[in-house]
Amino acid sequence: MTLTMLIAPFVVLNVVIGMVTYVTLLERKFAARMQSRIGPYRVGPHGLLQPIADALKLMMKEDIVPTAADRSIYNLAPIVFLLPCMLIFATIPFAPGLGVADLNIGILFFLAVSAMEIVGLFMAGWGSNNKYALLSAMRAVNQIISYDLPFIFSALVPVLLAGSLRLSDIAAAQGGGYWFIFYPVIGQLAFLFFIISTLAAENRVPFDILEAESELVAGFRVEYSGMKFALIQLGEYAHVIGSSYLGALLFLGAWGGPGPEWLGPIWFTLKAVVLFLLVTWVRWSFVRIRVDQILALSWKVLMPATLLLLVATGMVVVWRIAP
């Protein structure tokens, strides 16, 4: 019992880190193909060793701490940022009974922990003592306050449909191909809102005002170098992958798919990767929108829409139970 308790997190953490490094390559290749380029090609066959070369380069880089930085906060920030991004994988069941912890409040845990990410982000922005970094952190706080609620509301729709907060129950409720994305009207709308607010929660294009290369250089991580930069980057991609898994679990039937049961985790991962590619597709197709447009979209469109959708879902569920 205790041994598996130690081994499971170890395995999951390493698999996630491995996935994150290779997902960066996938994104670069995908983006390159979209722009009629080849992408990384020189390191290893078809550039397959590129992520390892990147990691080695980052490990060997000099670690620079700005003189005027708030030293303790600056040094702690990457760790505080990475921690919640990794913790979200704790509740995800990769197959029936295969996960670190199948909590009865699974989705709530996921939402609560991923909301903690902002603390590390703000520490990085503030501790760097850099105007770009601080502006970026300010924007991040703004954006996360605005998009937390639509994110939670749209994730609650599958919870209502399945009648459980436990992630494995939500997945099991979609068994036999009744994925929640196929639920008439409600499913598609909830999925759309979920994707939009996930994009915002992950600070990806078109909601990347806090990174905004053209105005804020690289935002809150502009002063970071070497391994600390790598940790922040790792956290960001882990968050994206974690949200993709959550989306695949909530709407795409998690481990459900044709073939024998042991293919479950592979189907699940494939669905998560498809969601990740969807996000990447958006990233390389759209332009960044302005701060006021982002806030208006959240408060004037997504908030009322997701709330109404939640009420509608509640009605459907009540009528379904007592016709």
Residues at the site binding another protein, with contacts judged by CB under 8 A = 70, 73, 103-105, 108-109, 111-113, 115-116, 118-119, 122-123, 126, 129-131, 134, 138, 141, 144-145, 148, 165
Rg (CA), the chain: 20
- Min. distance of Cβ 72 from another protein in angstroms? 8
Residue number, 91 or 269, with CB nearest to another protein: 91
CB of 98 to another protein, least distance (A): 21
Query: How far is CA 84 from each of CA 90, 103, 110, rounded to the nearest angstrom?
Result: 10, 16, 9
Q: What is the closest distance, in whole angstroms, from the C-beta atom of residue 145 to another protein in the complex?
A: 6
3-state secondary structure of 98: strand
Least distance (Å) between residue 127 CB and another protein: 9
Matching residue, tokens 């898994």: 245
Using the minimum distance from each CB to another protein, give the nearer residue, 35 or 67: 67
Q: Which two tokens stand for residue 174?
A: 């979609």
Q: Is the peptide bond before 258 cis (omega within 30 degrees of 0)?
A: no
∠ CA 142-148-151, rounded to 5°: 140
**Closer to another protein at the Cβ: 28 or 221?**
221
Nearer CB in complex with another protein: 14/104: 104
Residue pair 193/150 in contact by the 8 Å Cβ criterion: yes
Question: How far is Cα 94 from Cα 29, in angstroms, rounded to an integer?
Answer: 26
Shortest separation between residue 236's beta carbon and another protein, angstroms: 18
Element (H, E) at 259: none
Min CB(103)–another protein separation in Å: 6
Give me the sign of the Cα torsion angle 278, 255, 29, 209.
Answer: positive
Q: Quote the least distance from Cβ 316 to another protein, whole Å.
A: 18
Residue 166 CA to chain centroid, in angstroms?
A: 19
Rank residues 60 and 322 by Cβ distance to another protein and give the closer one. Answer: 322
Q: Return the number of the residue (105 or 185) whose C-beta is nearest another protein.
A: 105
Minimum distance between the CB of residue 26 and another protein, rounded to whole angstroms?
30
Sign of CA dihedral 182, 187, 189, 192: negative
Rank residues 59 and 308 by Cβ distance to another protein and give the closer one.
Answer: 308
Q: Are 285 and 128 in contact (CB under 8 A)?
A: no
Minimum CB distance to another protein smaller for 132 or for 179: 132
| CA nearest to 69, candidates 230, 222, 227, 218 | 222
The answer to whether 304 and 227 have CB atoms below 8 angstroms apart is no
